[in-house]
């Protein structure tokens, strides 16, 4: 049934900007402060106050505009979006309406079948956040205005996504770009990245759009996908039953897995936008734009391609390593510090970061930059493995030490005498001793119980406290056990 229908999705993504101070006053933007502590007469909307634009917001928005191939407007204006709500102290939100600062951009997303697709960006504009109403207490509704005036950008896409998967990919790409640019932390759960969707469906082959609905309150990536799937199915079911879709706003309820329509009264807004007379035009000249251009870092899609070609990494590795800028930079720094640089050591570095480091940062919920293991030390560890100084197994123990104390691997190796035993005559002596002491096992092995090799390896490791080079142990063992035949 769904095959007959095509989905049309457009996303409106709000990103809280990582400026130190608010958009129009000098209050801090710190998350998690005591309610109503990061406030002043201006963001409280006291009578007589005036907004003054924080220039860093313009920098950040231009940065995002350039990273998403937008046209930057030389003159843009702020507008007032008027509506009444207790957590909106001025009775209007300062936003942009006509003449947004960025428009007509696009980003590329990757589809399942490895092809790519261009998603258009209609506009990116600057605005201020509202406060928070807290309803779920047993007393009256409470208002926390700490968030009032925190700067946001709103990124509006063209209605060019054709499935919830594509929407998910687009949203992931936007998150990746803003975090790479360092203008937003991209945390959906904390609300620093928010996403609303416009959804409609139509029969394949139709040219006109059908009625769309707006889905809000999807506060995680998983919820976005689920909410969109719910809404697409709901609309198709309606059409299949011969009913029609009404234009309305739905709120996603993550507990019940349903999207619930808002009361139509709350939904019927006439925002009465008009230019904010308290703020002057934002004039951006070429010089300003060029200065910001210089600060754009290598973006994730480009980095991913480069990791594949420059380091011969599998695509999967490159994707994992470039998801976050910090991780990608950690990897590159590790590579830079390797003595032995070849595809094998690159892959070794990738493996270590993907399995060990990413596990730790996920478990401890810290940034990779805060780990005690520095890239230069990880490089030393990888060098020690690849030049046979230590075994991979010992390396794991050393890594655990590094995590705890941040010591250099060499220091730990020397302190604990963990240098790998690779002296063949030494190993041969030990093996001879073990074979002599266990003649019945040797017999069983030679009768065909080849898996008993593990027993001998284990014995060697026991006698050498795990330091024997496993490759050499294996070689000599096999030679000795097989030769006697």
Partner 1 sequence: MHSVSSYSYDDFLNQTPDNNNSVLNIVEKYLKNIELRKNINAFTEVYNEESIANAKKTDQELKSNNKKKLSGFVIAVKDIISIEGKKLTCASKILKDFTSLYDATVIKKLKDADAIIIGKTNCDEFAMGSSGENSSIGKTLNPVNEAKVPGGSSSGSAAAVAANFSMGSLGTDTGGSIRQPAGFCGIVGLKPTYGRVSRYGLVAFASSFDQIGPFANNSRDAARILEVIAGHDPLDSTSANIPVPNYLEKMNGDLKNLKIGLPKEYFDDSLNPEIKKSIELKIEFLKSKGVKFVEVSLPHTEYTIPAYYILTTAEASSNLARYDGARYGHRSKNSNTMEEMFVNSRSEGFGNEVKRRIMLGTYVLSSGYYDAYYKKAQKVRRLIQKDFLDVFKNVDCLLTPTSPTTAFNLGEKTKNPLEMYLSDIYTVSVNLAGLPAISIPSGKDKNNLPIGIQLIGKHFDEQTLLKIADVCENNLN
Site residues (CB under 8 A) for partner 1?
A: 41, 44-53, 80, 82, 84, 86, 89-92, 141, 143, 270, 272-274, 277-280
CB of 83: closest distance to partner 1 in angstroms? 8
CB of 87: closest distance to partner 1 in angstroms? 8
Q: Phi and psi at residue 26, in whole multiples of 5°?
A: -105, 20
Task: Give Cβ neighbours of residue 381 (< 8 Å, ≥ 6 apart).
Answer: 352, 395, 398, 399, 402, 409
Total binding residues for Zn ion by CB under 5 A? Answer: 5
Nearer to partner 1, 41 or 406 (CB): 41
Q: How do beta strands 213-216 and 193-203 pair?
A: antiparallel
| Span near Zn ion by CB under 5 A; candidates 20-28, 100-108, 259-267, 365-373 | 20-28
CB of 40: closest distance to Zn ion in angstroms? 3
Distances in Å between the Cα of 374 and the Cα atoms of 19, 206, 380 are 28, 57, 10
Nearer to partner 1, 278 or 286 (CB): 278
Contacted entry of partner 1, Zn ion, none for residue 400, CB cut-off 5 to 8 Å set by kind: none
Helix (H) or strand (E) holding 64: helix 55-67
Q: Determine if 156 is a binding residue for Zn ion (CB under 5 A).
A: no
CB of 17: closest distance to Zn ion in angstroms? 15
Nearer to Zn ion, 30 or 244 (CB): 30
- Return the residues of window 191-220 that contact Zn ion according to CB under 5 A: none
CB of 145: closest distance to Zn ion in angstroms? 9
CA dist 270 and 108 (Å) reads 34
Tokens 């946001």 correspond to what residue? 152
Residue in 18, 25, 63, 236 binding Zn ion, rule: CB under 5 A: 25
Nearer to Zn ion, 25 or 292 (CB): 25
Q: Determine if 40 is a binding residue for Zn ion (CB under 5 A).
A: yes
Residue in 11, 18, 43, 193 binding Zn ion, rule: CB under 5 A: 43
Burial label for 430, CB within 10 Å (0-12, 13-18, 19+), is: middle
CB of 275: closest distance to Zn ion in angstroms? 23
CA dist 378 and 225 (Å) reads 37
CB of 36: closest distance to partner 1 in angstroms? 10
Contacted entry of Zn ion, partner 1, none for residue 43, CB cut-off 5 to 8 Å set by kind: Zn ion
Tokens 């975090």 correspond to what residue? 179
CA dist 382 and 462 (Å) reads 24
Residue in 9, 27, 150, 335 binding Zn ion, rule: CB under 5 A: 27
CA dist 103 and 120 (Å) reads 10
CA dist 375 and 388 (Å) reads 20
Residue 230 and residue 42 in contact, taking contact as beta carbons nearer than 8 Å: no
Residues of the shown chain interacting with Zn ion in the complex, contacts defined by CB under 5 A: 25, 27, 40, 42-43
């Amino acid at each position: 049934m769904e095959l007959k229908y095509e989905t049309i999705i457009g996303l409106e993504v709000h990103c809280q900007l990582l400026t130190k101070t608010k958009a129009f006053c000098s209050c801090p933007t710190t998350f998690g402060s005591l309610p109503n502590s990061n406030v002043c007469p201006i963001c409280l909307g006291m009578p007589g106050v005036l907004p003054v634009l924080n220039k860093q917001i313009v920098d950040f928005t231009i940065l995002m505009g350039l990273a998403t191939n937008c046209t930057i407007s030389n003159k843009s204006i702020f507008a007032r979006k008027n509506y009444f709500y207790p957590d909106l102290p001025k009775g209007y939100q300062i936003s942009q309406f006509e003449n947004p600062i960025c428009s007509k951009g696009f980003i590329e997303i990757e589809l399942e079948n490895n092809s790519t697709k261009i998603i258009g960006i209609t506009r990116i504009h600057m605005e201020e956040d509202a406060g928070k109403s807290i309803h779920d207490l047993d007393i009256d509704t409470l208002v926390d205005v700490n968030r009032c005036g925190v700067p946001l950008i709103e990124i509006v896409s063209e209605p060019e996504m054709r499935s919830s998967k594509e929407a998910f990919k687009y949203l992931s790409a936007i998150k990746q770009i803003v975090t790479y640019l360092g203008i937003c932390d991209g945390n959906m759960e904390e609300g620093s990245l928010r996403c609303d969707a416009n959804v409609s469906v139509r029969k394949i082959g139709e040219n006109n759009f059908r009625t769309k609905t707006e889905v809000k309150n999807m506060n995680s990536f998983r919820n976005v996908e689920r909410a969109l799937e719910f809404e697409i199915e709901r609309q198709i079911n309606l059409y299949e039953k011969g009913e029609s879709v009404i234009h309305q706003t739905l709120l996603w309820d993550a507990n019940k897995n349903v999207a619930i329509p808002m009361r139509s009264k709350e939904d019927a807004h006439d925002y009465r936008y008009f230019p904010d007379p308290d703020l002057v035009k934002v004039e951006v000249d070429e010089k300003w734009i060029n200065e910001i251009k210089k600060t754009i870092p290598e973006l994730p899609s480009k980095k991913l391609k480069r990791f594949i070609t420059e380091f011969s990494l599998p695509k999967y590795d490159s994707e994992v390593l470039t998801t976050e800028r910090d991780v990608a930079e950690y990897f590159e720094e590790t590579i830079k510090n390797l003595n032995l640089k070849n595809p094998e050591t690159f892959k070794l570095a990738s493996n270590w970061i993907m399995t060990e480091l990413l596990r730790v940062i996920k478990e401890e919920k810290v940034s990779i930059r805060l780990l005690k293991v520095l890239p230069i030390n990880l490089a030393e560890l990888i060098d020690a493995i690849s030049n046979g100084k230590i075994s991979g197994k010992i390396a794991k123990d050393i890594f655990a030490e590094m995590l705890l104390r941040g010591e250099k691997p060499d220091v730990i190796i020397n302190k604990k005498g963990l240098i790998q035993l690779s002296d063949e005559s030494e190993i041969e002596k030990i093996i001879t001793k073990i074979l002599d002491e266990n003649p019945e096992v040797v017999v069983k092995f030679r009768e065909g119980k080849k898996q008993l090799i593990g027993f001998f390896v284990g014995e060697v490791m026991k006698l050498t406290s795990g330091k024997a080079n496993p490759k050499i142990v294996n070689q000599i063992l096999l030679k000795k056990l097989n030769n006697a035949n």
